[in-house]
Structures are given as structure tokens and as C-alpha cells.
Structure 1
Amino acid sequence: MDIVDEFDISIIKELEKDGRMAYSAIASNLKISNTMVHQRINRLMEQGILTGIKPVINEKKVGYDWGSFTGITLNKDQDSNRIIEELKKIPEITECYYITGSFTLYIKIIAKDHEHMRKVLYEKIDTIAGIAKTDSIIELGCAFKRNVTL
């Protein structure tokens, strides 16, 4: 099991405020060395605790006004790895989860408008061999989205 101590948590909290923050600024804010910040961030990334430091795009501000949460039923669950590889090729799919219940997979789709959403669903997703059916719920806006509190 990976060990995360109070220094790691403090560094992560600084990065959550601004992922572009210089390591030297983090070190100054936390009153620790720049080298320690650099080593800790590298270790957190190597351990997979931090999976990257990247911008968060507001899809609506760049023209993607439609979102859906779509459950996918497969003909055979053992085809899931192949189907996931096909889903990865569709840029409008931003998230994919294994779930329990009525579906095998649950995905998040973003689209520019209802016609774009229809094309993604019917012309890209439904044409993947092994998908039996999809069931979508249209997203009307995100009330909030956040990381788990450490």
C-alpha cells in the first residue's frame, strides 16, 4: 500500500489550487525545500497517486453544450476489453467505468448539440460489434466536481 504523509497531502492541496504552480512556490508556501517538493511529486506520480497534472477543460466554454451518461449492455461481458479499446478511439467519450447492475460499462459523452450526440451514439458507438444496447441520460449541467478530500 502506498503511504501518503502530511507533506504529500499539503503538496497535493497546493497543486489543486493551481496545477501550474512552480515547485519553488509550493516549497516556499510549505516551508520545505524545492528538492523535497520535486522528489515527492515524482514519487506520487510513479506510485500512481497523481496520474498527471493537466488542465481541466470546461467543455461548455469550447462549444460542447450536450453531455450524457450512457449505460452500455454487451452481448458478452468477456468482450469488454476489445470494446473499451474501440470506445477509446471516440474522442467525445471522456470517461468509461466498469459497473454492476443492468449495464457492463457506463460512459460520459460530450457533444456540441443534439445532432452531434445522435451521431456519436448511433454512428460511432452502436456500430461497435458486441454492443447490444445503450441507454442514455442527458446531463443538464454539473452542480460540482471535485477530488476526494485528503
Structure 2
Amino acid sequence: MKSNDYLEEKPADIDELDEKILKLITKNARIPFLEVARECGVSGAAIHQRVQRLLNIGVVYGSEFIVSPQKLGYNTCAYMGIYLEKAKYHTQVVHALREIPEVVECHYTTGAYAIFIKIQTKTNKHLKRMIDNDLQNIEGIARTETFISLEMDFKRQVPIK
């Protein structure tokens, strides 16, 4: 473990133009740079350089299309808190969870659970089968607590100043 592993990451140094760019591109990742440039009152080259800098310093990352789980038949969204038999099992449990395609998020947490995951399954029966056949068989898991999401009211990015 490095000596700085416990230090919080310092926020990136961004200015008002960076903030305006971020607001535009996070609303629509496919917005053309020339349109961003018009909105910001600068050249397309300046926008390209700014976005590249934001990528390089890690303020923004990735470029992806978001798949609608429901359009692919994944109609059950559940969250699960996982209790470990011992903390030392964390790494091997996470490795095993990574092998289950229906587990779409995994967080190491404080509080009651050691691990908190998000699961997308086609039906409640699919979820039950996955819990019984996959999750409960992972060595190191003491017990689990499952919450089915009835509806997602909203999801958003963090605010940009």
C-alpha cells in the first residue's frame, strides 16, 4: 500500500469555461464540439483542447452508450447488502461477483454491509435463482439482504458548480 492511499484526491483545477463545457457535454455526450464552441463563444479547437485536458486530468472519462435494461427484458432491479464472514474475504468475494453478469455495480462500504451491489435480472424468479445458485455459493459471504427497486425516480451526474 502506498503512503498516499489514505489521502483524499484533490479536486481538479477547472475554470468557468471548463464548467460551461462540462454542463453541455454531460447533458448530451454526442453534442458536436462546434456547437459547444458556439455556446461558449470560443473556437472549436479551443473546445477540443479543453475537453482533451479534462480527459487527461481525469475530470471526465469514458464514452459509452447506456443500454436500457428494460428494453432487453431486465425488468427487476435489486440492491443487495453483503455481510462477509471475515473482512479478509473481500477481495475474493469481489472477484467472484465480477464473474456474475447480472451484478452491474459493486461498492465496498462502511456500515452494516461490507459490500453493496446492484443487480439487474429479467424477473424476480431470475433474481431468486441467481441468489440461490450464484451469490449464496460464494465462499466468504455470511449472509445477504436484498432490496427490490420498484422504480427509479431519477439518476444524475454530480453538480458542476
TM-score (norm 1): 0.90
Kindly report structure 1 stretches of 4+ aligned residues shifted beyond 3 Å.
none
Structure 2 counterparts to residues 40-55 of structure 1, below 5 A: 40-55=50-65
Counterpart residue number, 2:3: none
Structure 1: where are the runs of 5+ without partners?
none
Q: 1:98 Cα deviation (Å)? A: 1.6
Over the matched positions of the two proteins, sequence identity in percent amounts to: 32
Structure 2: where are the runs of 5+ without partners?
1-9
How many residues are paired up? 150
SS at match of 2:18: helix
Q: 1:82 Cα deviation (Å)? A: 2.4
Is 1:68 aligned to 2:78, yes or no? yes
Q: 1:110 Cα deviation (Å)? A: 0.6
Q: What do residues 81-130 of structure 1 show as CA deviations (whole Å, max 9, x unaligned)? A: 22212212222111111221111010110100012111222222222211
| C-alpha contact 1:19 1:55 (8 A) present in aligned 2 | no
**82, 86, 89: which one aligns with 2:99:** 89
Q: 1:31 Cα deviation (Å)? A: 1.6
Is 1:24 aligned to 2:37, yes or no? no
1: CA distance, partners of 2:98 / 2:47: 34
Range moving further from structure 2, 65-74 or 21-30: 21-30
For the aligned residue pairs, the C-alpha RMSD in angstroms reads 1.5
1:22/1:69 CA distance change after superposition, 3 Å: same
Range moving further from structure 2, 126-135 or 34-43: 34-43
Range moving further from structure 2, 107-116 or 50-59: 50-59
2: CA distance, partners of 1:81 / 1:35: 44
TM-score (norm 2): 0.85
| C-alpha contact 1:65 1:110 (8 A) present in aligned 2 | yes
Counterpart residue number, 1:120: 130
1:67/1:21 CA distance change after superposition, 3 Å: same
SS at match of 2:137: coil
**114, 134, 147: which one aligns with 1:137:** 147
**78, 86, 89: which one aligns with 1:79:** 89
Q: 1:74 Cα deviation (Å)? A: 0.9
1: CA distance, partners of 2:43 / 2:151: 41
Q: 1:48 Cα deviation (Å)? A: 2.2
1:42/1:81 CA distance change after superposition, 3 Å: farther
Q: 1:29 Cα deviation (Å)? A: 2.0
Q: What do residues 40-72 of structure 1 show as CA deviations (whole Å, max 9, x unaligned)? A: 222222222212232233322221110111001
SS at match of 1:8: helix
SS at match of 1:108: strand
